[in-house]
Structure 1
């Protein structure tokens, strides 16, 4: 058989794997900021393949801008919150999480953490109520007859919509505190004896977990380059870095600045989509450290220009982060440790200096540090010398670059790209009207059945019964022989 025929057959097999068969209707329950950037990558690919995608957008959304040039449809629904109230909410949440929570003593830390979680829960609960209790919206959604719901379960409402609309559900997430949803709702085995616990909130399942357990597929935004090994399930796929892509050329003024760095190269600095401003004290500490390195620095920053800003540092309200990390002159990435940014660094093999602020960021940075591809500094307590030392370490110690490249090779060495896998599973669930056949029987077991306590109890009962019977028999025999012996003595 000729090489051309073999190649044609191979391509035909691939088309069968990736092909959607028929186009479907996708309803999306998103979350703002970096979560949206990740989900948007999947949606763009679904649109390219001919699927009809509709995104539920609250009227006060800060990041879900309606793009008239995109084929993605946005269904905007009114909310009980004002736009200014939404902005104030996120500012307050960030202030508490970044500047107050880390300073709390142990006995106050968890009460404040619970307060922050409660504020977030109330906000997302209001959004969910505004959507679900909107009769006109729900009627329209029911009449649309969607084939699947793709939901970011950081905001728990997609599962409720799936119940109401009787539609298969696919979750996409990085992780949730303690991985409680993944374990109790998804049934994912994460033994704490060798799998590090995410954050610290381990609680028993509730009705919410039971509702979320009906998800057909879980798309976890991490991969084995960053994650620690653990057992997995057929309806879990790890698609970290699905948004990553080869670097594109930089804008001319930015390229000129990068090229002016010479052999020293550049450092990219960003604290994510939610944090564009800092207190004057922290901004000056950071700027003073960056002014002392020979590299040029591109810093995404929207606040007041720091007094200690060096001539080697330029401030930008926005930077093409992926394109900068993929530039051959980039030596290091200073980051808050968000999943999207870390995966772009892994994709391009760039060592990181992690300054985690809140949420999953400390866990992400710890993983990079444990794999030898980054160092960590504390945002509130670091001095200029601390940050300077960290940046010099990851640039001058070749082991950090080598480990970053090792993670990059692991990430790229996959039989199917993460984005293609994510799209495949969404289409798979649509084609089969769900994926209940991939769900383990653990969902139908009580906690004592799951841990085989009923079996252990039965076996223990058997052992006790046999032991009692044998003991009784031995005692009976002893008494029988003892009586017989006494009779002989009397005779």
Structure 2
């Protein structure tokens, strides 16, 4: 027997000299127990979650799924009229708050009126009507949630239960502010899953925002603005400030005055948040100033595509070399007006590509055999399929980030909110085309689709964005989880917060310093002037000496 084999036999764990096998097994069992007993414990955190319903819940749920997989316990506060947030879930326990009105019905009425006005054209009247209806809808939604928060704070039993639960952190979407105020009341560290705040985009509340090159959402501008465009940008910023000051803020100010000693205001509370998990990144966003407690997690919901269901895969493969077009307008829009859907279906019928279309309305009369109508589609798995050539979408944040991740050019039909601005960012980078709802007709739609299908630059540009987005040392999801757990471990992250929010506006902009310096200069100049004047007067009054 070779030396190597002899050594191996001597050191074999099943020999250990002449020791019987059962004793060897016993020793290994004891060692295993000992190693397990010395492994440091990994205790999950206790998280209170106050989400926003609708499409915002989709990305919040993805974050909760990952937190649940990491061993954290979660409690979700939901409305009794919730669209998507279930009362029972394996991910979390829930606390249900009674709301007097269903937000889904309220939003549906607004959406139908909004699409009708868009189809009428871009008149000044339509613009102001859309703006007024939008502000009115937001004000009503914030009023409902501020009243719901008042009910929570008045319920002493619920408040005691929340305090006794000893939560480590409150995670909320600040598009609605009750979660922000509740964190303040319960004295909990606050993490925001954010892109939108009560009025406008989150950066405008926390980071320096020069309006000369940072476009205000809704303005339809880029970071390259002419003089007239800067005036337009300032106008849109003014509407956001007015909206917060007079239509949204007063609802929460009433809560602050009633329940918080010394009062408070929503914007300051947002600025006090420990971490902002920001659903964007600089592959998508225009470069701008930021802050150390903003963590960019754009595309955190994306992951490699999974295989399609067998019937859908068969349909996709039947497209052959022509490929597939997919169309969906998000969770909030089930169908466009009938005349629009007929025009869209007519264009699809002419194409050699196969089409998968999420559509819940009346079946279009012009539908072709190449188009599959579905109530739901595995959007991410279809976008990640090599056969998918174009994504027709409304331009929601989730869909745009997924298009970037999977590298599929976009034909955008923006409907409301931030959708036009999202699509504009892709169009500026040569990765998308935009058609306004009022401009959708057979000729225009067919022209734009063929350009996206046959001009290689669009696919090349979106795939370049995809490579940039994926080239990160840590995935956006891992970033998000790390910072939630960081706040739990350290009971907050005050060292990352700016003190600017505690400063009055005249100190923030150094108006007081400027006034003092100007006063000092003015006093100095005046003193010199007085001194010179006195010397001149003395010289004039000095008597002349007589000459003999």
What CA deviation, in whole Å up to 9, does each residue of 1:4-56 have, x standing for no partner? xxxxxxxxxxxxxxx99642100111112221111112111111111111111
User: How many Å separate the matches in 1 of 2:528 and 2:347?
Assistant: 78
Q: 2:192 aligns with which of 171, 178, 182?
A: 171
User: How many Å separate the matches in 1 of 2:312 and 2:494?
Assistant: 50
Answer yes or no: is the 8 Å Cα contact 1:173–1:219 preserved in 2: yes
User: How many Å separate the matches in 1 of 2:547 and 2:100?
Assistant: 100
Determine the structure 2 residue equivalent to 1:377. 435
How far is the alpha carbon of 1:320 from its aligned partner? 0.2
User: How many Å separate the matches in 1 of 2:371 and 2:434?
Assistant: 21
Q: 1:158 aligns with which of 179, 190, 194?
A: 179
Determine the structure 1 residue equivalent to 2:378. 320
User: How many Å separate the matches in 1 of 2:58 and 2:153?
Assistant: 25
Displaced runs of 4 or more, over 6 A: 488-491
User: How many Å separate the matches in 2 of 1:182 and 1:102?
Assistant: 32
Q: How does 1:287-436 map to 2 (within 5 A)?
A: 287-436=345-494
Number of equivalences: 466
Q: 1:98 aligns with which of 105, 108, 115?
A: 115
How far is the alpha carbon of 1:81 from its aligned partner? 2.9
Determine the structure 1 residue equivalent to 2:96. 77
Q: Does 1:202 align with 2:221?
A: no
User: How many Å separate the matches in 1 of 2:103 and 2:128?
Assistant: 30
User: How many Å separate the matches in 2 of 1:442 and 1:102?
Assistant: 44
Answer yes or no: is the 8 Å Cα contact 2:279–2:297 preserved in 1: yes
More deviation, 57-66/249-258: 57-66
How far is the alpha carbon of 1:483 from its aligned partner? 4.3
How far is the alpha carbon of 1:424 from its aligned partner? 1.0
How far is the alpha carbon of 1:336 from its aligned partner? 0.3
More deviation, 27-36/220-229: 27-36
User: How many Å separate the matches in 2 of 1:251 and 1:259?
Assistant: 12
Answer yes or no: is the 8 Å Cα contact 1:20–1:49 preserved in 2: no
User: How many Å separate the matches in 1 of 2:167 and 2:377?
Assistant: 37
What CA deviation, in whole Å up to 9, does each residue of 1:328-355 have, x standing for no partner? 0111100000111111100011110111
Answer yes or no: is the 8 Å Cα contact 2:328–2:358 preserved in 1: yes
User: How many Å separate the matches in 1 of 2:547 and 2:506?
Assistant: 59
Answer yes or no: is the 8 Å Cα contact 2:394–2:413 preserved in 1: yes
Q: How does 1:273-288 map to 2 (within 5 A)?
A: 273-288=331-346
How far is the alpha carbon of 1:488 from its aligned partner? 6.4
Q: 1:469 aligns with which of 527, 538, 542?
A: 527
RMSD of aligned C-alpha atoms?
2.3
Structure 1 gaps of 5+ residues are 1-18
How far is the alpha carbon of 1:455 from its aligned partner? 1.2
- Larger C-alpha radius of gyration, 1 or 2? 2
Determine the structure 2 residue equivalent to 1:140. 161
How far is the alpha carbon of 1:177 from its aligned partner? 7.3
Q: How does 1:171-320 map to 2 (within 5 A)?
A: 171-176=192-197, 179=200, 182-184=203-205, 187-199=206-218, 200=236, 201-203=239-241, 207-320=265-378
How far is the alpha carbon of 1:101 from its aligned partner? 6.3
Determine the structure 2 residue equivalent to 1:12. none
User: How many Å separate the matches in 2 of 1:20 and 1:370?
Assistant: 50
More deviation, 73-82/164-173: 73-82
- SS of the equivalent of 1:218 reads strand
- SS of the equivalent of 1:31 reads coil
- Scaled by the length of structure 1, what TM-score is found? 0.89
Answer yes or no: is the 8 Å Cα contact 1:152–1:171 preserved in 2: yes
Structure 2 gaps of 5+ residues are 1-39, 219-235, 250-264
Answer yes or no: is the 8 Å Cα contact 2:117–2:126 preserved in 1: no
How far is the alpha carbon of 1:464 from its aligned partner? 1.0
More deviation, 256-265/168-177: 168-177
User: How many Å separate the matches in 2 of 1:177 and 1:76?
Assistant: 23
How far is the alpha carbon of 1:423 from its aligned partner? 0.8
User: How many Å separate the matches in 1 of 2:547 and 2:184?
Assistant: 85
How far is the alpha carbon of 1:269 from its aligned partner? 0.4
User: How many Å separate the matches in 2 of 1:80 and 1:177?
Assistant: 19
Q: 1:57 aligns with which of 63, 78, 87?
A: 78
How far is the alpha carbon of 1:66 from its aligned partner? 4.6
